[in-house]
Amino acid sequence: MFGTDRTEEQKLSPKVTDEGNMLRDITLGQYYPADSVIHKLDPRVKITGTFLYIISLFLVRDIWGYAVALAFLASMIFISKVPVSYMVRGLKGILFILLFTAAFNIFFTPGEVIWSFWKIHATREGLRIAIRMVIRLIFLVMGTSIMTLTTTPNQLTDGLEKVLRPLRHIGVPVHEVAMMMSIALSFIPILIEELDKIMKAQSARGADFESKKLSVRMKSMVPVLVPLFVSAFRRAGDLANAMEARCYHGGEGRTRMKPLRYVKRDLLAYLILLIYLALVILAGILF
């Protein structure tokens, strides 16, 4: 359950969250299964890649840099075989931030006034900064989406554990944190399924979850939350016993069933990342 057993994960993942209409709208993580090179890449490559991409966005100063970043992003989306609509969906969440950033920059940057209304002045410089910021934010979110859409949550945790491993030396319990994250992640679909079951059982007993009155809705959560907590504690106890029974003793000396191992395509991916980074920097110097 906690390893990188991919088929198991895919069974557990969003399908379960979609059991039933009540919880149809909750998507867990964003993993979009597809057969692409990006999906197969080692999670460490994707984590590092995303990180480098974010840095590159802050190195970019002009249109050429953005063109390189856009070309890179577009080709990654294309290779990942994830529909663009999924990428765009991620932007919905930051729509407000985008508008806010744009407005703030347009109206509060001093400079040549191009449009004014009462005490509000839009400036050319402001517009330029706004466009730059918005593009940067969009690229940032979409770039990160590629990682979350092509990597299962458990692979991500595995990757993070490996990448952050050096922090162990300064006393960060990297393994324990990663273990906690992966347990939490594997429990989310289970608990969502449980929640769905309990809600259905209580609605079969006439509980009203769709009432327009807030007080009624709040009250109707009690028959759901009590059993949910009871079951969460029960499951936690069971799991603790199961881990104990298998002699779990933390990360010391622990090996993995499916250790992360770099293969040729991962090295190639690193190379491509370096080339991309070089291009961005070159674009900054040359133009």
Partner 1 sequence: MSIIADHLSYIYSAGTAYEVKALNDVSFKIEDGEYVGLLGHTGSGKSTLVQVLDGLLKASEGTVYVDGEDIFDKDYPLKSLRSKVGIVFQYPEYQLFEADVFSDVCFGPANLGLERSEVELRAYEALKQVGLRDEAFYQSPFDLSGGEKRRVAIAGVLAMKPKVLILDEPTAGLDPAGRKWILELVARLRKENGMTIILVSHSMDDLAENAERLMVMDKGHIAMDGRPKEVFRYHKELFEMGLDIPEVVKVLYMLRENGVNVNTDAITVREAAEEIRKAIRPA
Q: What residue type is assigned to position 263 of the chain?
A: V
The answer to whether 24 touches 18, Cβ cutoff 8 Å, is yes
CA distances from 22 to 189, 196, 220, 272, 287 (A): 14, 7, 14, 44, 54
Q: How far is the CB of 194 from partner 1 (least distance, A)?
A: 8
Q: Which segments of the chain does DSSP mark as H helices, in order?
A: 6-12, 14-17, 37-40, 43-59, 63-80, 84-92, 95-108, 124-150, 153-164, 174-204, 214-220, 222-245, 264-286
Q: Of 21 and 255, which has the nearer Cβ to partner 1? A: 21
C-alpha 236, offset from chain centre: 25
Write out the residues near partner 1 by the rule CB under 8 A.
14-15, 18-21, 24, 32-33, 194, 197-198, 200-208, 222-224, 226-227, 230-231
Q: Of 168 and 217, which has the nearer Cβ to partner 1? A: 217
Q: How far is the CB of 216 from partner 1 (least distance, A)?
A: 11
Residue in 77, 193, 188, 186 with CA at minimum distance from that of residue 138: 77
Q: Of 111 and 223, which has the nearer Cβ to partner 1? A: 223
Q: How far is the CB of 188 from partner 1 (least distance, A)?
A: 16
Q: How far is the CB of 208 from partner 1 (least distance, A)?
A: 7
Q: Of 3 and 20, which has the nearer Cβ to partner 1? A: 20
CB atoms within 10 A of CB 118: 5
CA distances from 48 to 97, 104, 105, 282 (A): 26, 32, 31, 21
Q: How far is the CB of 119 from partner 1 (least distance, A)?
A: 48
The answer to whether 65 touches 59, Cβ cutoff 8 Å, is yes
Q: Of 205 and 261, which has the nearer Cβ to partner 1? A: 205
Q: Of 141 and 149, which has the nearer Cβ to partner 1? A: 149
Residue in 76, 70, 68 with CA at minimum distance from that of residue 46: 76
Q: Of 144 and 203, which has the nearer Cβ to partner 1? A: 203
Q: How far is the CB of 94 from partner 1 (least distance, A)?
A: 22
Q: How far is the CB of 80 from partner 1 (least distance, A)?
A: 13
Q: CA 202, CA 228: separation in Å to the nearest integer?
A: 12
